[in-house]
Amino acid sequence: MVNICKVGEWLNISNICLNIPTPFKEGDILVATSKTPFSEGYVLEYDRFPFVLEHLITWNDNFSTRLSKGNFDSSDMQGPGDYISEDGSICYDNIFDYDSWEYFDGELKGKDRILKAISSLKKGKIDINLFINAYEEIKKDNIITDVDYFTDEGLEFAGFSEKDIENIRK
């Protein structure tokens, strides 16, 4: 732990960083379940906000050594990831408080379906060609009609439901 100071009668522990082991891997679809205060009162309101994990700071081999020297604070309990903005754009940003993350267990709908394709691309389950095609079609909220060269499994990894695949194959 670092940056603990006394404020009045209380200890201020808002700037601690703990190396908490997590089961997460690159490409996992996660949600942050907390409301995170940082940077002088700005609050990110996640409310089960799905994102695709890129990496965690704790995956750095030197993290524990640096932490033991007091070089980190609570802002380092984060990991960058991809999420879909309100306008449907893919955004890449730091998601804070990895101790509050959980695996996303809901159904991705609408433009959020592209998160499945991002996840599959990062995990090496689909190639960039299928990702781009899936992205373009999901972005338009249409179903792909000319994809005979993609397998059903590939389409599933790209975020299409069984019903979508049936409609594609008709």
- 33 and 73 housed in the same domain: yes
Does residue 63 sit in the same domain as residue 114? no
Q: What is the pLDDT, as a whole number, of residue 111? A: 84
Of 75, 103, 131, the residue at which a domain comes to its end is: 103
**pLDDT at residue 38 is higher than 50:** no
Q: Has residue 5 got a pLDDT over 90?
A: no
Q: What is the pLDDT of residue 7?
A: 60
Q: Does the pLDDT of residue 37 top 80, yes or no?
A: no
Domain enclosing residue 55, as ranges: 5-103
Please tell me the distance from the alpha carbon of residue 64 to that of residue 21, in angstroms, as a whole number.
12
Cα separation of 144 and 147, whole Å?
7
Question: 80 and 116: one domain?
Answer: no
Helix pair 128-139, 114-122: axis angle to 10 deg: 170
Across the range 69-94, mean pLDDT stands at 76
CA distance 77 to 44: 14
Q: In this structure, are 115 and 99 located in the same domain?
A: no
